[in-house]
Amino acid sequence: MAESTRRGRGLRILVTVLGSVVLLVLIGLARGLTLSSAEQTEPISYTGTAAEEVDAVRFTMDVGEVRFADALRTTGLRADDGQRYEANGVWLVVPVTLTATTEPLATVHTVRLESGGHAYGLAAEMQPSSPPRLDPGIPEQQTFYFEIPEEHLDDPTLRVIAGGFDARLSAEAVVDLQLDEQQLANRVAEAADEIEVEDTDTSPDGGVAEDQEVDAGA
C-alpha cells in the first residue's frame, strides 16, 4: 500500500513537472510569435521583377526600360535650366508607372536603389520637392534618377514605399531590375553621353544622397 502511494505521488510530481515544462515552452513560443508595435505597422513588402507589374495591394508599379548615362542635363522650366550633372560613376534613369488601387495614397515615402550591398536614395538634384499623390486607377508616371559607383553595380533592386501621410501601414514594392553582371557591364560601356531631364521640380538643397550599407536582414 505504501509502495503504491509513493508511486502515485511520484507520478503526480512527474506530471506536474512535465506540465510546467510544456507551459514554459508554449510561453516562449508565444513571445517569439508576438510582433513588436514597429513590426506590426512597418510596410508590407511585395516582390516582383521588372518584367511584370508588381502588385503591392495598395498600389501597382510597372518599371520601364532602365537607361544609363554619363551625365544628365536639365531642360525646360527649371531654375537650373541647362545645368549638366556629371556622374561620379554612372546615372541610372528608371521610369516607373505607379497606380493606386482602391484608395488615394497621399505620398510616396521612400524610393531607393539597392545594389552591390549598398542603398542609394534619389539624387537630390532630380528629386521632387513634393512627392506625387496617387489616385485610384490613374497611372502616375515618374522617373527616378540614381547616381551609382560602377563598382557597386550588382543585382540592382528598386524599393518604393507608398501610403498615407503616416508611413506606418504603407505598402512596399520591391522590384528586381533583372540586370546581370554581363548586362550591367554592357549597359555601362554603352551609356549615353547625356540624357535630358525635363521639367523636374527640384528640391532646394541639391546634392546627391550618400549610399548606405544594406542591412542583410532588411
pLDDT of residue 53: 95
Report how many domains make up the chain: 2
Are 98 and 167 part of one and the same domain? yes
Are 94 and 27 part of one and the same domain? no
Are 179 and 155 part of one and the same domain? yes
- At 85-99, the pLDDT tens digits run 999 999 999 999 999
**Counting every residue, how long is the chain?**
218
In the structure grid, which three cell numbers stand for residue 124, read together?
Answer: 537630390
Are 20 and 107 part of one and the same domain? no
pLDDT at 43 over 90: no
The β-bridge partners of 172 are 45, 161
- At 149-188, the pLDDT tens digits run 999 999 999 999 887 666 566 889 999 999 999 999 999 9
- Does the residue 217 lie in any domain? no
Are 21 and 103 part of one and the same domain? no
Q: Report residue 130's pLDDT band, with 50, 70 and 90 as the boundaries.
A: low
Contact call for residues 200 and 126 (beta carbons, < 8 A): yes
Average pLDDT over residues 131-154: 90
pLDDT of residue 123: 84
Are 48 and 10 part of one and the same domain? no
Euclidean distance between CA atoms 157 and 71, whole angstroms: 22
Are 136 and 192 part of one and the same domain? yes
- C-alpha distance across the termini of the chain, in Å: 65
- Does the residue 90 lie in any domain? yes
Are 2 and 74 part of one and the same domain? no
Task: Read off the pTM.
Answer: 0.72
- Does the residue 216 lie in any domain? no
* Domain extent at residue 114: 44-211
Are 80 and 13 part of one and the same domain? no
- At 44-83, the pLDDT tens digits run 889 999 999 999 989 999 999 999 999 998 876 556 667 8
